[in-house]
């Protein structure tokens, strides 16, 4: 008679440690299969645990998704906050540090973070709100630096911080896709940043002024009416 192999027992973990381990597994699922693949089943199968155990830690797929987003975002956020604390007056230097950290990161994780912050992977309203919340946390870190560098209002600096992020992540994507080299991408991004940081040409406004734009539109409209009347 052949004896049955003893079933391998799952290692005991305290509740918080087990939850953290499941979040690590969820992050792995996202990085290897994409956000749409994240589910109670995929986490259970990858972790080799029961779905019931996953449900004990996450009440719904939405909660699992939101907590995985926070889990992935946390280390990135803390690294950036630490760098800004040490180099808050040097925007170009800060961008170089972020560039080095981004390219040192697993490309799959970088892609997952990008999809998460831009909420490009889901039509779910809750995950879109979560993505926007994380984006606001990220731009909030950069806003004071951009305000000091460009003498902008808080709202303008927040918007420009996000635009710079879009350009930076786009550069990373071009390098990852093999369209440009990392060296070329870094040089182009730095060139763009330095152009922005140069003193404005005399006679050109520092930032667009909505009232002047409106005045220009009104003037154009008045000119058109005058021409129509004179015919």
Give the tens place of pLDDT for each residue, 118-141: 876 666 777 788 888 888 998 999
- Cβ-based burial of 138 (10 A; exposed 0-12, middle 13-18, buried ≥19): buried
pLDDT at 203 over 50: no
* Listed ranges 1-15, 95-109, 111-125; the one with the highest mean pLDDT: 95-109
What CA–CA distances, in Å, run from 128 to 38, 119, 165, 209?
15, 5, 18, 31
Average model confidence (pLDDT) across the chain: 82
Domains of the chain: 60-197 (1.10.357)
- List for the chain the helix, strand, coil content (%; round to 5): 75, 0, 25
CA-closest candidate to residue 46, choices 68, 14, 66: 68
pLDDT category at 79 given cuts 50, 70, 90 is confident
Place of tokens 């305290």: 14
- Per-residue pLDDT at 3: 54
Q: Sign of torsion, CA 105 109 111 115?
A: negative
pLDDT category at 116 given cuts 50, 70, 90 is confident
- What is the distance, to the nearest Å, from the Cα of residue 151 to the centroid of all Cα atoms in its chain? 24
Backbone phi, then psi, for 58, in 5-degree steps? Answer: -135, 120
- Per-residue pLDDT at 199: 63
- Per-residue pLDDT at 184: 93
């Amino acid at each position: 008679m052949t004896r049955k192999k003893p079933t391998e027992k799952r290692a005991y973990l305290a509740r918080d440690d087990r939850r953290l381990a499941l979040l690590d597994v969820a992050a792995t699922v996202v990085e290897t299969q994409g956000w749409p693949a994240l589910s109670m089943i995929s986490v259970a199968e990858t972790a080799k645990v029961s779905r019931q155990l996953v449900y004990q830690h996450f009440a719904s797929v939405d909660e699992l998704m939101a907590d995985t987003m926070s889990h992935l975002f946390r280390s990135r956020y803390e690294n950036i906050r630490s760098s800004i604390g040490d180099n808050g007056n040097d925007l170009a230097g800060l961008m170089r540090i972020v560039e080095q950290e981004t390219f040192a990161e697993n490309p799959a994780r970088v892609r997952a973070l990008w999809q998460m912050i831009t909420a490009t992977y889901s039509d779910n309203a809750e995950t879109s709100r979560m993505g926007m919340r994380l984006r606001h946390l990220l731009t909030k870190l950069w806003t004071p630096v951009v305000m000091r560098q460009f003498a902008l209002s808080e709202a303008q600096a927040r918007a420009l911080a996000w635009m710079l992020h879009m350009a930076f992540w786009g550069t990373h994507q071009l390098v990852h896709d093999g369209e440009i080299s990392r060296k070329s991408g870094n040089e182009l991004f730095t060139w763009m940043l330095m152009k922005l940081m140069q003193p404005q040409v005399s006679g050109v406004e520092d930032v667009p002024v909505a009232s002047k734009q409106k005045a220009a539109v009104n003037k154009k409209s008045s000119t058109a009416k005058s021409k129509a009347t004179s015919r």
